[in-house]
């Protein structure tokens, strides 16, 4: 039984070691094409609408 937990800990450690860095790498890969297509002003405006408003709303309801 303890052997199974050791395998799960190794799997979880390997998974967590690359998960967030891979996520940021993939998202950064698509930023350049979106920035070139939309332009700087529209890109920042779009990101604020998509990310800024949900953060502000969640802060209002959580605090």
pLDDT digits (tens, 9 = 90+) for 5-59: 788 888 888 888 888 888 899 999 999 999 999 999 999 999 999 999 999 999 9
Q: Is the pTM of this model over 0.75?
A: no
Determine the Cα angle at 45 with ends 41 and 50, to 5°.
150
Residue 2: the pLDDT is 61
**Residue found by looking up tokens 């939309």 in the block:** 38
The two structure tokens encoding residue 40? 């700087």
Residue 1 has pLDDT above 70, yes or no: no
Classified as helix, coil or strand, 1 is coil
How distant, in Å, are the alpha carbons of 29, 51, 57 from that of 37? 14, 19, 29
């Amino acid at each position: 039984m303890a052997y199974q937990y050791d395998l799960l800990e190794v799997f979880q450690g390997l998974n967590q070691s690359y998960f967030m860095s891979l996520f940021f790498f993939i998202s950064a890969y698509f930023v350049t094409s979106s920035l070139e297509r939309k332009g700087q002003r529209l890109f920042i405006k779009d990101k604020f609408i998509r990310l800024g408003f949900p953060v502000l709303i969640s802060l209002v309801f959580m605090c």
